[in-house]
């Protein structure tokens, strides 16, 4: 029995040795690779769809990197309050605030307001209201000084001489202005004329004709109608492209000046004719175009202050 077991054990050892020697690993031979299954032939495009119409974001070019959102910097309240202190952290007295330069005062007032809104403590609100009170007092002082100076130097600084503020004075001014306009237009009818450019089918021109009738009846002017559809040379000479157009000309000269383009009222026609007549006659220039004769030398005459300084001998200085 023992010899039988010994025989079995020796046979098993021999069998194990044979199996190890025949293994490819121990024999130095690589195991054969398994063949990969070949994909079946496809008769359609399996590439994933790309682009805007397939809900894909566009490619970002290298020179256009994605923008990163800046991180919100959270400041400590003490740091914020320190940044908002302007012009400085000094506590000013009422006298210093009262005599402070306006720009600096305004800057400090804005800071005090924002500080009081952000931190509405009793001290911050009180500081802001104190500055507001000083600002009101400074404004009252300036208004008082203006009234004093204009009353003391009324001859040179007041506009009441030609532009009164009372009702009787304003009525007198209107009457003087209307009389001057009427006299100027009536006198100029002998050496001035108005050209009326129109064209058939122009509804605005028909309305303007009615106003021109009132003008001729009041002033006795000659108004010459020009049909731009027939008299194209006249239209080209004055560069007329819109109707109705009113043009003031001075007889015996090449001077002319437009009065209006489009329909205007009788009052507006009188005002613009008056100004154009004075300009063509040399009675006014660009800087005094709206002035009347009775305003010459007054507070509304831009050149009167230059003449006043010249009369004083060499001009004044501020």
Give the domains, in start order, of the chain with CATH numbers: 79-146 (no CATH), 169-297 (3.40.30.10)
Of 11-25, 26-40, 49-63, 205-219, the least confident = 11-25
CA dihedral 128, 130, 133, 135 (to 10 degrees): -60
Residue 32: the pLDDT is 54
Q: How confident is the model at residue 15 (pLDDT cuts 50, 70, 90)?
A: very low
In the sheet where 256-261 sits, what is the strand order? 223-227, 192-198, 245-250, 256-261
SS3 category, 228 = coil
Q: How confident is the model at residue 252 (pLDDT cuts 50, 70, 90)?
A: confident
pTM score > 0.85 for this model? no
Q: How many CA atoms lie within 13 A of 162 on its CB side?
A: 15
Of the candidate ranges 44-48, 87-91, 101-105, 204-208, the one whose mean pLDDT is the lowest: 44-48
Give the whole-angstrom CA distance, residue 132 versus residue 128.
6
CB atoms within 10 A of CB 275: 21
- Name the more confident of 136 and 73: 136
Q: Which of 6-15, 33-42, 113-122, 177-186 has the lowest mean pLDDT?
A: 6-15
Mean pLDDT calculated for residue range 10-28: 48
Instruction: Compute the average pLDDT of residues 223-238.
Output: 93
For residue 312, pLDDT over 50 is answered with: yes
> Once rounded to an integer, what is the mean pLDDT over residues 179-204?
94
Q: Which helix (H) or strand (E) holds 238?
A: none
Q: Is the Cβ–Cβ distance between 127 and 116 less than 8 Å?
A: yes
- The set of residues, in sequence order, having a beta carbon less than 8 Å from that of 177 and lying 6+ positions away, is 292, 294
- CA–CA separation, 44 and 212 (whole Å): 85
Lowest mean pLDDT among 10-24, 44-58, 103-117, 195-209: 10-24
Does the structure show a pLDDT above 70 at 1?
A: no
CA distance 294 to 176: 8
Q: What is the pLDDT of residues 141-180, one digit of tens each?
A: 999 998 888 888 876 676 776 667 788 888 888 899 999 9
Instruction: Give the least confident one: 123-132, 225-234, 285-294.
Output: 285-294
pLDDT at 106 over 70: yes
Give the mean pLDDT of the chain: 78
């Amino acid at each position: 029995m023992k010899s039988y077991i010994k025989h079995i054990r020796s046979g098993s050892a021999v069998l194990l040795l044979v199996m190890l020697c025949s293994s490819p690993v121990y024999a130095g031979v690589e195991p054969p690779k398994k063949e990969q299954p070949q994909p079946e032939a496809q008769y359609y495009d399996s590439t994933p769809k790309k682009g805007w119409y397939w809900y894909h974001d566009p490619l970002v070019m290298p020179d256009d990197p994605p923008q990163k959102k800046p991180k919100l910097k959270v400041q400590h309240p003490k740091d914020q309050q320190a940044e908002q202190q302007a012009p400085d952290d000094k506590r000013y007295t009422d006298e210093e605030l009262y005599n402070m330069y306006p720009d600096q005062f305004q800057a400090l007032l804005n800071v005090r307001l924002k500080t009081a809104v952000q931190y509405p403590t009793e001290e911050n609100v009180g500081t802001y209201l104190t500055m507001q009170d000083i600002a009101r007092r400074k404004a009252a002082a300036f208004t008082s000084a203006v009234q004093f100076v204009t009353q003391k130097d009324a001859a040179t600084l007041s506009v009441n001489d030609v532009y009164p503020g009372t009702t009787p004075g304003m009525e007198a001014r209107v009457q003087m202005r209307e009389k001057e306009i009427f006299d100027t237009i009536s006198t100029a009818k002998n050496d001035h004329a108005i050209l009326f450019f129109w064209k058939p089918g122009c509804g605005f021109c028909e309305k303007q004709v009615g106003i021109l009738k009132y003008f001729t009846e009041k002033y006795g002017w000659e108004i010459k109608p020009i049909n731009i559809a027939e008299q194209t040379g006249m239209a080209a000479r004055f560069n007329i492209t819109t109707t109705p157009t009113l043009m003031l000309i001075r007889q015996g000269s090449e001077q002319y000046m437009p009065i209006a383009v489009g329909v205007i009222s009788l009052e507006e026609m009188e005002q613009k004719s008056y100004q154009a007549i004075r300009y063509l006659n040399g009675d006014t220039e660009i800087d005094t175009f709206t002035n009347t004769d009775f305003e010459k030398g007054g507070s509304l005459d831009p050149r009167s202050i230059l003449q006043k300084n010249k009369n004083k001998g060499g001009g004044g200085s501020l």
